[in-house]
Chain A
Amino acid sequence: MSIDYSERIPNNVGLSDDRRLQRALESWQPRFLQWWAEMGPALPTQDVYLRTAVAVGREGWAHFGHVPLPEYRWGIFLAERDTDRRIAFGQNKGRPVWQQVPGEYRADLQRLIVIQGDTEPASVEQQRRLGLTAPSLYDLRNLFQVNVEEGRHLWAMVYLLHAYFGRSGRDEAEALLLRNSGSEDSPRILGAFNEETPDWLSFYMFTYFTDRDGKYQLGTLKESAFDPLSRTCEFMLKEEAHHMFVGTTGVDRVVERTAQLMREHDTDDIRAHGGIPLGVIQKYINFHYSVSLDLFGSETSTNVANYFTAGLKGRWQEERRKDDHVLTEAYSVVPRVEDGRVADVRLPALTALNADLREEYVADCSTGVNRWNRILADHGLDPALYLPHPGFNRHVGIFAGHHLTPDGRVVDPVAWAAGRDRWLPTAQDKAYVLSLMRPVYEPGRIAAWVTPPRNGINGRPLDYVYVHL
């Protein structure tokens, strides 16, 4: 039976003429749909007001309409090709970018794509039960939009594996669906993607902090000398921006509601009034920020140095940087714990690239905190929110095995244990937040612990029926 691929799978990669890719997708697509049915959103819906990418142009990727979720058309899109593009860094700097995978770098490129690909479906799995407690139809729709796009990002990575890596690529693509978040037998590769996202405050934090890590990882892959990977990531970044918008405005709305309740009742402890206390918000920030920092990997990494030199993975905004883009003679300063204090150590820049990327990320994260503090100030409250020290609560890298307080002091295990409940969400905090999570499915209505959004989706009003249940 012939299938009209360009209809079922919107794409700009010539799928209808590519028999190899068709063969690969023929077996993969049913598995993906089965995975979506089993591991995708748990809340049954009739349809959802979604954005579907049908082309890469300005109009093509913002195509809105009500779609039943399983019929969402997950497409394959690469940003437009720049035919003069040259490798911007590493030992191959200045040469034309690659349209095929060089055999020399097959294993490394495959590994990078698999690790990136593994995170995409993981977050769908982590968030699958959130629909059951959505604070509004607007939020529910945003959740599903994020979910389908993470699904599309999985497609994007699977496309690369299928189209460029032969048999081993197909095997890896299959394994992306076999591993599942939180599974004991076959967990997702990265630890942070095996934790459930239990409540909506966590979801906002996740989309703010953890999806932002994704943005920076994609940003480094966008620089890749392997052009199809670069173009894929460039397009994914456009969608990722929406995920971070969900996080930023989500936390905005929680903070705003908290500020309102604090003013209204003139108290910090707004639990009795159904809000989330600032202290709890701060603990959630502490947790999600520190877990997301772990995703950057060890501050010193040989692998990343190799990826850079080979041209597989660059730095954030590589081409805007004013240096030689080779870095064999460059040094970076990286913090580490020495004699019970955080001290700087000078290391070859190549092996400290994870730390470089992390610094970009930290600077970006702090803009959100400033924004949330401005909301507090607008309500006449002190700007109380902050980002903890990068060494706080770390399990990966040079801070792992040490105990640092949010303000960056190295303490012993006893002091850590004594302070832990002040810094990280306790079981009671989580239970409290969870207790607020009651679904609000009436159009235009919103849960009491969060303010309504300023605008609807695609110019639609707030009481628009974004989801038909």
Chain B
Amino acid sequence: MSFDTDPGRYRHIRLEVDGEIARIVLKVDENGGIAPGYDLKLNSYDLGVDIELHDAVQRLRFEHPGVRAVVITGGLDKVFCAGANIRMLAQSSHAWKVNFCKFTNETRNAIEDATAHSGQTYLAAVNGTAAGGGYELALACEWIILVDDGSTAVSLPEVPLLGVLPGTGGLTRLTDKRGVRKDLADVFATRSEGVRGRRAVEWPLVDEAVPRSRFEETVRRRALEAAARSQRPEQPAAGPRSPGPGARPQRSVAAAPVPLPPLRPDGYTYSTVRAEPDGDQVAVTVRGPAADADPRLVDEHHWFLRMTRELDDLILRLRTNEPDRGTWVIRTEGDLDAVLAHDVGSDAWPFGELRHYFKRTLKRLDVTSRSLVALIEPGSCFAGPLLELAMACDRQYMLDDPDRPNAVRLSRANFGDYPMGNGLSRLAARFLAEPDRVAKLEQETGRRIDAAEALELGLVTFAPDDIDWDDEVRLALEERAALSPDALTGMEANHRFAGPETMETKIFARLAAWQNWIFTRPNASGPDGALRRYGTGRRPAYDRRRA
């Protein structure tokens, strides 16, 4: 399974860019399912559709600096989007469903991230039925415009029709983002026909309901208003830059586009990252930049951009393709100074985009259902942004060998540039009860920290010496591999997110965790369960006992 695509290869969506406004038009090819066995009717989606959406959201940020508002709309008659394809869900394994939902959640979060941090405000032009995941897609947008034609409704019919939850953030965003009262949310989410028109505005499930004759005009006006508020940079950042092949400046004042580097892995070997599956583990290695790489020349060869994009893709592919390998052992190799040189410390275009991209990639790691172990060895380059990789891991082992220097380096990157989904830096979450300690660590910024000191500072779990190292690491990995994978997934997800809840953590923890439990219950996925019976014309038979 590959997550690589580009607009020239899209089958299901159309990306239209017109000055400051882009449109993502959903027109799903019924016969274009990524797996056999189902038709993608009524703009329903599967992983293949979402991969295109993910690609479009990503490219808009880098390749379209002039775009300040993005309209998501339906390209079929009277249909916005019917959500995830039910037959696809019904025929999928539990692991596939969970992984699929995680990915779609990450893309919805990326839509909100673009609105919040990239000056690209997303608007949903709901020009037809928006059901389930279709409405959830709209919920990820900043502003929802519903066509008011007396019949088009938004709905979350999962509970009444499928016996599962609207698991792509729907329940959470209703209450936490839109402020829908819990009693009205209760009515809405149990009413298969949904809510339309004025009432949808009152509840407030949408921001406005507009007659068809004024719909396009209203969408355009709202998009232009959003574009006018955008903080997206208008001045090109200082410094030389290659605009990339075929790219032309769209407005004289707009920043130059940054083409996303093509993904051309050989197996799991990319230009800056590689993964070696081995038994129940995968060894992931991230290579630092060459000493002479220019951090300010952001083109498709830029190390930080490439590394981020390749690591992001690797995580997605390993999650999907290697479900049996429960532990990822993460290493780096390269030069600490060269890594820090790429930590530009500026949010000027396009460095802000780079930072947020790596932030999103690290967040993917945070919610990955694998045991993550960092091995910090001589020759590694866990500095600044790459040190975050180690901090995202469940454990950190650092070799303390007096004959071979081994160090990590902190930078400002470790103190808030790459927040987790709970809004905290990984260090702040690590030392939740000791905020002073984080402040002290900040004073250590920039200098080399060796193994003994890293252990003392609490940056690593263990620092075995060269005699113990091999056995310590081997035993730890083997011991872990023997534990229940389900218990590990649950335990890790709990430990990683110390501290406050946010909408994002609630979506992944409260909503997704309940959803994943419901998915495995006979009431949903048993032979008589709602999900399995859906589409057969037979009604589900529920075990009425509450658990």
Does B191 sit at the interface, judged by CB under 8 A? yes
Chain B interface, >50% SS class: loop
Per the CB 8 Å criterion, the residue count for chain A at the interface is 26
Closest to A401 in B: B30
Q: Compute how far the CA of A91 lies from the CA of B150 in the bound complex, rounded to whole angstroms.
A: 34
Q: Compute how far the CA of A184 lies from the CA of B214 in the bound complex, rounded to whole angstroms.
A: 10
The distance from the CB of A400 to the nearest CB of chain B, in whole angstroms, is: 10
Proximity bits, B138-164, A CB within 8 Å = 1, else 0 = 000000000011110000000010000
Does B19 sit at the interface, judged by CB under 8 A? no
Interface-lining segment among B118-126, B371-379, B441-449, B529-537: B529-537
**Inter-chain contact A107/B151, CB cutoff 8 Å:** no
Closest to A177 in B: B150
Q: Compute how far the CA of A175 lies from the CA of B151 in the bound complex, rounded to whole angstroms.
A: 8
**Inter-chain contact A351/B151, CB cutoff 8 Å:** no
**Inter-chain contact A328/B535, CB cutoff 8 Å:** no
Contacts of A310 in B (CB 8 A): 539
Given A348-B537, A351-B537, verify A178-B193 contact (CB < 8 Å).
no
Q: Among the listed A107, A184, A308, A328, which residue makes an inter-chain contact with B212, where contact means beta carbons less than 8 Å apart? A: A184
Does B192 sit at the interface, judged by CB under 8 A? yes
Does A350 sit at the interface, judged by CB under 8 A? yes
Proximity bits, B176-215, A CB within 8 Å = 1, else 0 = 0000000000000001110000000000000000011100
Interface-lining segment among A36-44, A185-193, A265-273, A434-442: A185-193
Given A107-B191, A107-B193, verify A91-B539 contact (CB < 8 Å).
yes
**Inter-chain contact B150/A306, CB cutoff 8 Å:** no
Contacts of A179 in B (CB 8 A): 149-151
Q: Among the listed B148, B212, B536, which residue makes an inter-chain contact with A348, where contact means beta carbons less than 8 Å apart? A: B536
Contacts of A185 in B (CB 8 A): 148-149, 211-213
Q: Compute how far the CA of A189 lies from the CA of B537 in the bound complex, rounded to whole angstroms.
A: 24
**Inter-chain contact A309/B537, CB cutoff 8 Å:** yes
Contacts of A186 in B (CB 8 A): 148-151, 211-212
Contacts of A426 in B (CB 8 A): none
Contacts of B193 in A (CB 8 A): 107, 110-111
Does A305 sit at the interface, judged by CB under 8 A? yes
Closest to A395 in B: B77
Residue with the greatest number of chain A CB neighbours at <10 A, chosen from B193, B212, B537, B538: B537
**Inter-chain contact B534/A302, CB cutoff 8 Å:** yes
Which residues of chain B in 267-304 are interfacial with respect to chain A, using CB atoms and an 8 Å cutoff?
none
Q: Compute how far the CA of A173 lies from the CA of B148 in the bound complex, rounded to whole angstroms.
A: 17
Closest to B30 in A: A401
Q: Among the listed A111, A184, A302, which residue makes an inter-chain contact with B537, where contact means beta carbons less than 8 Å apart? A: A302
Given A185-B149, A185-B212, verify A107-B537 contact (CB < 8 Å).
no
Q: Compute how far the CA of A146 lies from the CA of B265 in the bound complex, rounded to whole angstroms.
A: 69
Closest to A353 in B: B537
Q: Compute how far the CA of A306 lies from the CA of B373 in the bound complex, rounded to whole angstroms.
A: 50
Q: Compute how far the CA of A24 lies from the CA of B192 in the bound complex, rounded to whole angstroms.
A: 24
Proximity bits, B210-248, A CB within 8 Å = 1, else 0 = 011100000000000000000000000000000000000
Contacts of A91 in B (CB 8 A): 538-539
Which residues of chain A in 265-316 are interfacial with respect to chain B, using CB atoms and an 8 Å cutoff?
302, 304-306, 308-310
Q: Compute how far the CA of A306 lies from the CA of B192 in the bound complex, rounded to whole angstroms.
A: 14
Closest to B41 in A: A298
The distance from the CB of A370 to the nearest CB of chain B, in whole angstroms, is: 35
Contacts of A350 in B (CB 8 A): 536-538
Closest to B151 in A: A189
Contacts of A184 in B (CB 8 A): 211-213
The distance from the CB of A113 to the nearest CB of chain B, in whole angstroms, is: 12
Given A107-B192, A175-B150, A186-B151, verify A351-B535 contact (CB < 8 Å).
yes
Contacts of A309 in B (CB 8 A): 537-539
Residue with the greatest number of chain B CB neighbours at <10 A, chosen from A91, A302, A305: A302
Residue with the greatest number of chain A CB neighbours at <10 A, chosen from B191, B212, B535, B538: B538
Contacts of B534 in A (CB 8 A): 302
Q: Compute how far the CA of A350 lies from the CA of B533 in the bound complex, rounded to whole angstroms.
A: 12
Residue with the greatest number of chain B CB neighbours at <10 A, chosen from A108, A305, A306: A306
Contacts of A306 in B (CB 8 A): 537, 539
Contacts of A178 in B (CB 8 A): 150
Q: Compute how far the CA of A54 lies from the CA of B78 in the bound complex, rounded to whole angstroms.
A: 41
Q: Compute how far the CA of A189 lies from the CA of B149 in the bound complex, rounded to whole angstroms.
A: 10
Proximity bits, B396-410, A CB within 8 Å = 1, else 0 = 000000000000000
The distance from the CB of A78 to the nearest CB of chain B, in whole angstroms, is: 25
Contacts of B536 in A (CB 8 A): 302, 305, 348, 350-351
Residue with the greatest number of chain B CB neighbours at <10 A, chosen from A107, A305, A350, A351: A107
Q: Compute how far the CA of A328 lies from the CA of B151 in the bound complex, rounded to whole angstroms.
A: 33
Closest to B31 in A: A401
Contacts of B211 in A (CB 8 A): 184-186
**Inter-chain contact B537/A305, CB cutoff 8 Å:** yes
Closest to B193 in A: A107
Closest to B197 in A: A175
The distance from the CB of A304 to the nearest CB of chain B, in whole angstroms, is: 8
Contacts of B539 in A (CB 8 A): 91, 306, 309-310
Given A107-B160, A184-B213, verify A308-B537 contact (CB < 8 Å).
yes
Contacts of A175 in B (CB 8 A): 150-151
Which residues of chain A in 331-360 are interfacial with respect to chain B, using CB atoms and an 8 Å cutoff?
348, 350-351, 353
Closest to B152 in A: A186
Q: Compute how far the CA of A108 lies from the CA of B149 in the bound complex, rounded to whole angstroms.
A: 21
The distance from the CB of A357 to the nearest CB of chain B, in whole angstroms, is: 14
Q: Compute how far the CA of A107 lies from the CA of B160 in the bound complex, rounded to whole angstroms.
A: 10
Q: Compute how far the CA of A308 lies from the CA of B538 in the bound complex, rounded to whole angstroms.
A: 9
Q: Compute how far the CA of A305 lies from the CA of B534 in the bound complex, rounded to whole angstroms.
A: 10
Q: Compute how far the CA of A350 lies from the CA of B534 in the bound complex, rounded to whole angstroms.
A: 12
Which residues of chain A in 174-209 are interfacial with respect to chain B, using CB atoms and an 8 Å cutoff?
175, 178-179, 184-187, 189
Residue with the greatest number of chain A CB neighbours at <10 A, chosen from B160, B192, B212, B536: B536
Q: Compute how far the CA of A187 lies from the CA of B150 in the bound complex, rounded to whole angstroms.
A: 8
Q: Compute how far the CA of A110 lies from the CA of B191 in the bound complex, rounded to whole angstroms.
A: 12
Q: Compute how far the CA of A55 lies from the CA of B81 in the bound complex, rounded to whole angstroms.
A: 47
Q: Compute how far the CA of A110 lies from the CA of B153 in the bound complex, rounded to whole angstroms.
A: 15
Closest to A118 in B: B151
Closest to B39 in A: A300
The distance from the CB of A225 to the nearest CB of chain B, in whole angstroms, is: 13
Contacts of B148 in A (CB 8 A): 185-186
Q: Compute how far the CA of A230 lies from the CA of B250 in the bound complex, rounded to whole angstroms.
A: 64
Contacts of B192 in A (CB 8 A): 107-108
Q: Compute how far the CA of A233 lies from the CA of B213 in the bound complex, rounded to whole angstroms.
A: 36
Which residues of chain B in 119-137 are interfacial with respect to chain A, using CB atoms and an 8 Å cutoff?
none
Closest to B190 in A: A107
Residue with the greatest number of chain A CB neighbours at <10 A, chosen from B149, B191, B192: B149
Contacts of B151 in A (CB 8 A): 175, 179, 186-187, 189
Contacts of A108 in B (CB 8 A): 192
Contacts of A353 in B (CB 8 A): 537
Q: Compute how far the CA of A179 lies from the CA of B151 in the bound complex, rounded to whole angstroms.
A: 8
Closest to B214 in A: A185
Q: Compute how far the CA of A269 lies from the CA of B213 in the bound complex, rounded to whole angstroms.
A: 44
Proximity bits, A85-122, B CB within 8 Å = 1, else 0 = 00000010000000000000001101100000000000
Closest to B541 in A: A91
Q: Compute how far the CA of A353 lies from the CA of B536 in the bound complex, rounded to whole angstroms.
A: 12
The distance from the CB of A335 to the nearest CB of chain B, in whole angstroms, is: 17
Contacts of B213 in A (CB 8 A): 184-185
Contacts of A328 in B (CB 8 A): 538
Which residues of chain A in 26-55 are interfacial with respect to chain B, using CB atoms and an 8 Å cutoff?
none
The distance from the CB of B538 to the nearest CB of chain A, in whole angstroms, is: 6
Residue with the greatest number of chain B CB neighbours at <10 A, chosen from A178, A186, A348, A350: A186
Contacts of B538 in A (CB 8 A): 91, 305, 309, 328, 350
The distance from the CB of A176 to the nearest CB of chain B, in whole angstroms, is: 9
Closest to A108 in B: B192
Contacts of B150 in A (CB 8 A): 175, 178-179, 186
6 contacts across the A-B interface (CB closer than 8 A): A175-B151, A179-B150, A186-B212, A302-B534, A309-B537, A309-B539
Ordered nearest first, which 10 A-B pairs have the shortest CB separation?
Answer: A305-B537, A350-B537, A186-B150, A185-B211, A179-B150, A302-B535, A107-B192, A186-B149, A185-B212, A178-B150
